Amino acid sequence: MDNSYTPPPLTGLTPFTGSFTQVELQHLLKRTMFGASKEDLTYFSGKTLTAVLAELLNPISFTPAPPIKEYTTSTTASAPDTAIALGSTWVGDLNNDGTVQSQRRASFKKWWMGLMINQDRSILEKMTLFWHNHYATESNDISNAQYVYRHHQLLRTNALGNFKTLTRAITLDSAMLVYLNGQLNTRTAPDENYGRELQELFCCGKGPDSLYTEPDVKAAARVLTGWRNNNTTMTSYFDATRHDTTPKAFSSFYNNTVIAGRTGATAGDLELDDMLNMIFNVQEVAKYICRRIYRWFVYYDIDASVETNIITPLANIFRSNNYEIKPVLQALLQSEHFFDTLSRGCQIKSPVDLVVGMCREFSIQFPPSTDYVTNYAHWNYMVTWVSNMQQNIGDPPDVSGWKAYYQEPQFYQIWINSDTLPKRNQFTDTMIVSGYSFGGKRIQIDGIAVARTLSNPADPNVLINELTAHLFRLDISDASKAQLKRDILLSGQSSDHYWTDAWNLFISTPSNTANATTVRNKVRDLIKYLMNLAEYQLA
228 forms beta bridges with: 237
Residue 138 covered by a domain: no
- Backbone φ, ψ for residue 143 (5° rounding): 75, -55
Sequence letter at residue 530: L
pTM (2 d.p.): 0.96
- Residue 1 has what pLDDT? 34
Alpha helices, DSSP H, located in 257-333: 267-280, 283-297, 304-306, 312-320, 325-333
Q: How many domains does the chain have?
A: 1
- Residue 96 has what pLDDT? 85
Residue 483 covered by a domain: yes
Transcribe 115-147 into DSSP letters.
HHHT--SSSHHHHHHHHHHHT---HHHH--HHH
pLDDT band at 79 (very low <50, low <70, confident <90, very high): low
Alpha-carbon gap, residue 203 to 313, rounded angstroms = 18
Alpha-carbon gap, residue 480 to 409, rounded angstroms = 31
Alpha-carbon gap, residue 152 to 91, rounded angstroms = 12
User: How far is C-alpha 245 from the chain's CA centre?
Assistant: 40
Q: b/e per residue, 153-173, with b = 16+ CB within 10 A?
A: bbbbebbbbbbbebbbbbbbb
Residue 495 covered by a domain: yes
Spatial contact of 256 and 237, defined as CB atoms under 8 Å apart: no
- Residue 7 has what pLDDT? 66
What contacts 302, CB < 8 A, 6 or more positions away? 8, 291, 294, 295, 311
Spatial contact of 318 and 327, defined as CB atoms under 8 Å apart: yes
Spatial contact of 332 and 8, defined as CB atoms under 8 Å apart: no
Q: Which domain holds residue 493?
A: 448-537
- Residue 2 has what pLDDT? 43
Spatial contact of 425 and 384, defined as CB atoms under 8 Å apart: no
Q: pLDDT tens digits, residue range 270-299?
A: 999 999 999 999 999 999 999 999 999 999
Residue 130 has pLDDT above 90, yes or no: yes
Closest C-alpha among 375, 290, 356 to residue 324: 290
Alpha-carbon gap, residue 391 to 382, rounded angstroms = 11
Spatial contact of 222 and 248, defined as CB atoms under 8 Å apart: yes
Q: Helix 98-117 vs helix 145-157: angle between axes, to the nearest 10 degrees?
A: 30
Q: Helix 22-32 vs helix 49-56: angle between axes, to the nearest 10 degrees?
A: 20
Residue 117 covered by a domain: no
Residue 533 covered by a domain: yes
Q: pLDDT tens digits, residue range 364-422?
A: 999 999 999 999 999 999 999 999 999 999 999 999 999 999 999 999 999 999 999 99
Alpha-carbon gap, residue 530 to 483, rounded angstroms = 12
Q: What is the mean pLDDT of residues 358-362?
A: 98
- Residue 83 has what pLDDT? 83
Residue 290 covered by a domain: no
Q: What is the mean pLDDT of residues 37-45?
A: 97
- Backbone φ, ψ for residue 280 (5° rounding): -75, -5
- Residue 5 has what pLDDT? 55
Rounded percentage of the chain residues whose pLDDT exceeds 70? 97
DSSP state letter for 228: E
Spatial contact of 128 and 168, defined as CB atoms under 8 Å apart: no
Residue 60 covered by a domain: no
Residue 8 has pLDDT above 50, yes or no: yes
Residue 457 covered by a domain: yes
Alpha-carbon gap, residue 390 to 402, rounded angstroms = 9
